[in-house]
Homo-oligomer: A and B are copies of this chain.
Amino acid sequence: MTFSEMLTSRRSIREYQDKPVPLEMIKAMIKESILAPNSGNEQPWKFVIVNDKAMLRRISDESKKNILARIDGDPDDYANKYKGILENASFNVFYNAPCLVIILGPSHLKNLSVDCALAASYFMMAATSRNLGTCWINLGAEINDQEMLNELGIPDNCRIIAPVIVGYPAHIPPIPKRKEPDIVKILI
């Protein structure tokens, strides 16, 4: 796949076929992700692969519960606009995708979000190049339950940045509308 084809092929996919993604394929995509640029070549990213729909459902329920509690404490929380769907018990934040890859790293690093976002960008492109769909699920990052964190192997000193679902698309939606680029100034 050429870069131009990838630019227009990548979508955020929210409907998946009931078909597992081979683990070796996920590992190959992670291997491509770590070629992303990063601050001071520190490569702070770590990965958790959850290739188990039942576990995804449990993480979804845990994250929904915690985000709703957060919104209750602060109605200005940006996630308040999702309150309606989060209160829907049947809603799975991971859209019943077969696989989730969590990108995380040491919380104290100043550039952690940016570095993990760069790896996530590569990961989503690596998936597109294999005709897989992805979606970065911000609503799936709020895991507080210590037992679940242990089960996922997430170290105490780490923070989840990018939970990305992966699978074979059931349906490819049209490209979401883009505004014209906002170039505020050109100095020549």
Contact = CB atoms under 8 A, between A and B. Distances in A.
A96 to B, nearest CB: 17
Given A2-B1, A6-B3, A8-B35, A52 B182 contact: no
B121 A182 contact: no
Contacts of A33: 181
A117 interface: yes
A51 B186 contact: yes
A184 B111 contact: no
A176 interface: yes
Interface SS, A side:
mixed
B117 A121 contact: yes
Contact of A121 (B8, B34, B121): B121
Interface of A: 1-4, 6-8, 10, 12, 23, 27, 30-37, 39, 41, 43, 45-52, 55, 78, 110-111, 113-114, 117-118, 120-122, 124-126, 128-129, 135-136, 138, 151-155, 161-162, 175-179, 181-188
28 contacts: A1-B2, A3-B125, A3-B126, A3-B129, A23-B186, A23-B188, A34-B181, A36-B121, A37-B121, A41-B177, A43-B178, A47-B182, A47-B184, A48-B183, A49-B187, A51-B187, A51-B188, A114-B114, A114-B117, A117-B117, A117-B118, A118-B120, A118-B121, A121-B121, A121-B122, A151-B187, A153-B184, A153-B185
